[in-house]
Amino acid sequence: MGETRLNALIIGAGSIGGLIDSPASDAVASHAHAYTLSPKTQLCAICEPSELNVFAFMERWGEVHRYFSIDDVSADEQYDIASISSSTASHFRDLTTLLKRKDCSMILCEKPIVASKEEFHSLISALQNSNKKILIHLMRRYNKAFIELSTRIKSDEFGKALGFQGVCTKGLLHNGSHLLGVLSHFLGYVSAIKPFKASHCNGDICGEFGISLKNGDGNISVLKSPDYSLFELTIWFEKGVIKVLDGGDKIEIYSRIPSGTYEGYFTLALKECITTNLSRYALDSVEFLIRESDQTCNEIFKEHLHLHELIFQAFIKVYRS
């Protein structure tokens, strides 16, 4: 007799909910694809107001029950796991409703968790005190290669972190949060974000930011104008360098070796190139949420809530400058 699968609900059946890929895609980027592939889940329902999105979604993923919004799901209907992939402006309402429900014991929420510092401060207590297992979809945190590399860094394989430089696009809240998530995973608790030459950009903030962490300090640049996506990170250690490239699809590790030219000097040589299989990130996140303990998920969730708190504090500093 097969194991009972978890009933999955997707709130927001647009791009990341189900239209960014298809069952034939090698990438597993949508929540629908992840729930369809995972042997532990079955996709049962969506909440989606757009008729066009509903039609396109069901053409790709088959017939499921459809609600206009989470408010239309009665208390008698039971779902085990829910994804929030609605617009950022809807996250506050969707989260508030899910937290009050007796079902949906597991929640995977797209970043940012809410749209504003006011919403964040209004909801933070309920989030921290919830008995549900909740994760923010900072996808690199749940990737096996990133998890293994974090363990190696913390084992002192590369020595002390000397500094770092990261670069991304699309705003500090919307894409910079991913970069900060990697940094906190590798180098510990983020204690401060200091804006330098930062300004508003499409409801977010862009510019230069100094980042202080438990085990290292450095800078990230959030570029305002490129029409292409960019996500890269270089961390310098005593014994070498780690480079996160191509959005995280590739990680290069360089080791310190004696210079072949100058006696007594050292240079860097590429030692290892890791392919992360990050394109399957939606499945990684869903399976991590289901597999890992409540304690592990709660610790990661609080870490990512703290990142959001610091980002919203940076918003205030930029608005005042």
List the chain pLDDT tens, one digit each, 321 residues: 457 999 999 999 999 999 999 999 999 999 999 999 999 999 999 999 999 999 999 999 999 999 999 999 999 999 999 999 999 999 999 999 999 999 999 999 999 999 999 999 999 999 999 999 999 999 999 999 999 999 999 999 999 999 999 999 999 999 999 999 999 999 999 999 999 999 999 889 999 999 999 999 999 999 998 888 999 999 999 999 999 999 999 999 999 999 889 998 999 999 999 999 999 999 999 999 999 999 999 999 999 999 999 999 999 999 876
How many angstroms separate the CA atoms of 282 and 41, rounded? 13
Residue carrying structure tokens 């430089």: 165
The tally of CA atoms less than 13 A away on the side-chain side of residue 62 is: 8
Name the residue among 139, 154, 133 with its Cα closest to residue 295: 133
**What are the tens digits of pLDDT across the range 149-170?**
999 999 999 999 999 999 999 9
Q: What pLDDT shows up at residue 1? A: 45
Contact of 204 with 174, CB cutoff 8 Å: yes
What is the value of pTM for the model shown? Answer: 0.95
Residue 10 to residues 58, 135, 166, 171: CA-CA distances in angstroms?
A: 13, 15, 32, 26
pLDDT the model gives residue 321 = 67
The pLDDT of residue 112 is 96
Three-state SS letters, 191-223: EEEEEEEEEEECCEEEEEEEEEECCEEEEEEEE
Q: Return the structure tokens found at 185.
A: 């995973």
Task: Map residue 288 onto helix, strand or coil.
Answer: helix
pLDDT at 59: 98
Residues 31-84: tens digit of each pLDDT: 999 999 999 999 999 999 999 999 999 999 999 999 999 999 999 999 999 999
| Cα 95 to Cα 82: distance, rounded to the nearest angstrom | 10
Domains of the chain: 6-139+283-292 (3.40.50.720), 144-276 (3.30.360.10)
So what's the pLDDT on residue 2? Answer: 59
Phi, psi of 148 (to 5 degrees): -65, -40
Q: How many residues does the chain have?
A: 321
Tokens of residue 127, six digits: 């989030």
In contact, 206 and 268? CB cutoff 8 Å:
no
> Do 170 and 206 meet the contact criterion of CB atoms below 8 Å apart?
no
| Strand 65-67 versus strand 41-47 pairing type | parallel
Mean pLDDT of the chain: 96
